[in-house]
Amino acid sequence: MSLDTVVEDVRDEARARAEDIREAAESEADEIVAEAEADAERIREERLAEVDRQIDQEREQTLSSAKLEAKQERLGARRDVLEDVYDDVEAAIEGLDGDRRRELTETLLDATLAEFDDDEDVAVYTHTEDVDLVEELVEDRNAVVDGEIDCLGRGRRGERHLSRSREQHVRLDPGVRLGRRVEEHLGATVRPMSAVGSSNPEYVVARVRARRGSLYGDEEYRKLTRMGPAEIARFMEESSYGTEINALGSRHGGVDLIEYALNRNLAGQFDDILDWSEGSLYGLIARYLRKFDAWNVKTVIRGVYTDADQSEIEVDLIRAGEFDDRRIRRLLEADSIDAVVEVLEDTIYGDPLREAYAEYEETGVLVPLENAVDRAFYERLLSGLGNDEPTRQYEAFLKAEVDFRNAANALRLARSGADIDPAAYFIEGGELFTRGSLARLARNLDELVEYIADSQYGDELGPALRELEEANSLIAFEHATDAALLAYGDQLGTIHPVSVTPVISYILAKEREVENIRAIARGKEAGLSADEIESELVIT
């Protein structure tokens, strides 16, 4: 074989190998191109789907906002008509004079007195201009005129009658509630509520448990944290808050609408519970709900202190306590802390606030005033409770609430380093602290945290105490005490299922739901992320 032949063979083999390599490279290149094209198509489809989803979401948000705005317009028009009708009715009632007014007043009085036993002494409250008429009408009845109050047709939509012997309350609610006992343009509905006599826990607990099933859970909160204020209002409208959203939608929007709806719903829920309750059960629940009077007093004081507008203060008020609309209005109209104290002089908060006012003037801080309100509330709350086992367990729950309040106050003082006597802010009634131990522990944060961790509350509050040490977060501790109280209330509700404790447990759970929704709405308004908002929620 010649050299030329060998060279040619090598060349042929090289050409063949090069062709194989080229074909393999082309094939691989084709595969890469095909895969790239497939990836590009997939990415394009994903982007198109994402754009479609965003368009659908924006369309839904715009549609929801438009529907809500349209509904607000309709409700506003309806409200204007109803107010005109109400004004006409009120004017007609106010214009009643002579025999017709006497006849209708006598009919209403007889219907009201029929709710009381014959041997009871009943005190009647009426408007200044009607005192002479009512005094004449009650002369031969078991009643006396004992005071004056604004009424429908005389400036206020409602009256209250109080039986001295049984502390039995009867509400007369005229006006738009002109529904059940109406004579021409004058009407009232009468509903007795007794603080003594036989209790009805079976009935009230059954009603409360039915309502507890409608409270929001984890899934609802997760949805809400990913919505804007308009969507949240829409979501609420389709749940147990629908009545309030629809009633307030013509006057408010955004977060304000949510806040007003939450507070009105909360007050309405608790009014319903009082309406269902009788006997000693009514007394226990009514006493606990006065916590909202304390809340409102502190809210007004803070608002006046910071020069907040009246509307800004009012949106935070919860009308679920004992204060009537007239006192709330007077509180909102107060232009100084001293004026607030004056409005409350005839309440359980009057004397404590007057005593604390001197210290407030000296220091310029609100702590003495706020603690005076808390002490007055808890001292009244814990006095004169019953001796049966469920009530003793309920008392233990209340003592835990006092302990947590004292612990939070002590932690605030310990972290502040201020030269303040902690004993002055001690609330009587708990079991965790004495006045002396609180004064000592509040001066050393480490000792205070260790003391709480070693107490009967250590298991429930341990993680929050560690976070308090690591992140200096008092908010986490307060959230932990809220969660612990919720869990404690639920536990007592299962131990004594037919008592006041399941009712109080529901009150706490409902209050927490309102606080969670409020935190979500405010967080959204402030631009917080969903994760940041979720960290502010208390969910058990």
Q: Is there a domain that residue 227 lies in?
A: yes
Residue 262: name the closest of 287, 242, 286, 238 by CA. 242
Residues 6+ apart with CB under 8 A from 288: 381, 504, 507
Q: Mean pLDDT across the stretch 230-236?
A: 93
- pLDDT beyond 50 at 103: yes
- pLDDT beyond 90 at 123: no
336 & 370 share domain: yes
Q: Mean pLDDT across the stretch 29-35?
A: 83
Residues 6+ apart with CB under 8 A from 138: 109, 124, 144, 145
Cα separations (Å) of 535 from 222, 316, 529? 12, 22, 10
Question: At 41, is the pLDDT very low, low, confident or very high (cuts 50, 70, 90)?
Answer: confident
Lowest mean pLDDT among 124-128, 380-384, 435-439: 124-128
Residues of the domain holding 179: 98-193
Lowest mean pLDDT among 413-427, 481-495, 499-513: 413-427
Residues 6+ apart with CB under 8 A from 339: 304
Domain count, the chain: 2
- pLDDT beyond 90 at 447: no
Q: Is there a domain that residue 413 lies in?
A: yes
The residue from 193, 218, 253 where one domain ends is 193
Q: For the chain, what percent of residues have pLDDT higher than 90?
A: 29
Residue 277: name the closest of 504, 514, 512 by CA. 504
Q: Is there a domain that residue 80 lies in?
A: no
CB-count burial class (<10 Å; 0-12, 13-18, 19+) for 408: middle
Lowest mean pLDDT among 171-175, 293-297, 362-366, 526-530: 171-175
Residue 422, pLDDT score: 77
> What single-letter amino acid sits at 509?
A
Retrieve residue 469's tokens.
Answer: 């040490």
The segment with the largest mean pLDDT, out of 82-96, 314-328, 477-491, is: 314-328
What's the angle, vertex CA 73, arms to CA 71 and CA 79, rounded to 5? Answer: 100
Paired with 187 in beta bridges are 182
294 & 338 share domain: yes
> What single-letter amino acid sits at 462?
G
162 & 269 share domain: no
173 & 241 share domain: no
Retrieve residue 325's tokens.
Answer: 């609309």
251 & 164 share domain: no
156 & 242 share domain: no
Retrieve residue 312's tokens.
Answer: 């800004």
Q: Are 332 and 313 in contact (CB under 8 A)?
A: yes
- pLDDT beyond 60 at 473: yes
Question: At 21, is the pLDDT very low, low, confident or very high (cuts 50, 70, 90)?
Answer: confident
119 & 219 share domain: no
Q: Is there a domain that residue 243 lies in?
A: yes
Lowest mean pLDDT among 61-65, 236-240, 502-506: 61-65
Mean pLDDT across the chain: 79
Residue 478: name the closest of 537, 431, 528 by CA. 537
Question: At 85, is the pLDDT very low, low, confident or very high (cuts 50, 70, 90)?
Answer: confident
Q: Is there a domain that residue 387 lies in?
A: yes
- pLDDT beyond 60 at 160: no
Cα 22 from Cα 125, distance rounded (Å): 106
Q: Which residue has the higher pLDDT, 253 or 62?
A: 253
The residue from 140, 169, 193 where one domain ends is 193
266 & 339 share domain: yes
Residue 416, pLDDT score: 66
Question: At 17, is the pLDDT very low, low, confident or very high (cuts 50, 70, 90)?
Answer: confident
Question: Helix crossing, 229-237 with 3-94: angle to 10°?
Answer: 60
Residue 168, pLDDT score: 38
Residue 484, pLDDT score: 82
273 & 317 share domain: yes
Question: At 294, is the pLDDT very low, low, confident or very high (cuts 50, 70, 90)?
Answer: very high
Cα 388 from Cα 377, distance rounded (Å): 23
- pLDDT beyond 60 at 165: no
The segment with the largest mean pLDDT, out of 69-73, 215-219, 466-470, is: 215-219
Residue 194, pLDDT score: 43
Question: At 38, is the pLDDT very low, low, confident or very high (cuts 50, 70, 90)?
Answer: confident
Residue 461, pLDDT score: 75
pTM: 0.64
Q: Which residue has the higher pLDDT, 235 or 466?
A: 235
Residue 76, pLDDT score: 66
451 & 475 share domain: yes
Long-range CB contacts (< 8 A, 24+ apart) of 169-176? 169/193, 169/194, 169/195, 170/112, 170/115, 170/116, 172/108, 172/112, 174/93, 175/86, 175/89, 175/90, 176/82, 176/86
Q: Is there a domain that residue 291 lies in?
A: yes
Cα 61 from Cα 56, distance rounded (Å): 8
Residue 60, pLDDT score: 65
Q: Is there a domain that residue 39 lies in?
A: no
Q: Is there a domain that residue 421 lies in?
A: yes
Q: How many residues are present in the chain?
A: 540
pLDDT tens digits for range 403-444: 888 888 787 777 766 667 777 778 888 988 998 898 888 877
Q: Mean pLDDT across the stretch 201-205?
A: 92
H or E element at residue 134: helix 131-137
Residue 121, pLDDT score: 67
Q: Mean pLDDT across the stretch 72-93?
A: 69
Residue 475, pLDDT score: 77
Cα separations (Å) of 115 from 110, 135, 197, 432? 9, 19, 14, 46
Which backbone phi and psi does 163 adopt, to 5 degrees?
-85, 125
Q: Mean pLDDT across the stretch 183-207?
A: 58
Q: Which residue has the higher pLDDT, 256 or 187?
A: 256
Dihedral angle, C-alpha 461, 464, 465, 468, nearest 10 °: -160
276 & 383 share domain: yes
| DSSP secondary structure letters along 297-341 | HHHHHHHHHTT--HHHHHTT----SS--HHHHHHHHH--SHHHHH
Long-range CB contacts (< 8 A, 24+ apart) of 245-253? 246/71, 246/75, 247/75, 249/68, 249/71, 249/72, 249/75, 250/72, 250/73, 250/74, 250/75, 250/76, 250/77, 250/78, 250/79, 251/76, 251/79, 253/72
Residues 6+ apart with CB under 8 A from 443: 414, 422
Q: Mean pLDDT across the stretch 486-514?
A: 87
The residue from 193, 226, 246 where one domain ends is 193
Cα separations (Å) of 410 from 355, 427, 433, 447, 450? 21, 11, 10, 11, 13
- pLDDT beyond 70 at 257: yes
Question: At 153, is the pLDDT very low, low, confident or very high (cuts 50, 70, 90)?
Answer: very low
Question: At 357, is the pLDDT very low, low, confident or very high (cuts 50, 70, 90)?
Answer: very high
Quick one: how far is CA 177 from the chain centroid? 25
Q: Which residue has the higher pLDDT, 387 or 1?
A: 387
Residue 468, pLDDT score: 63
450 & 496 share domain: yes
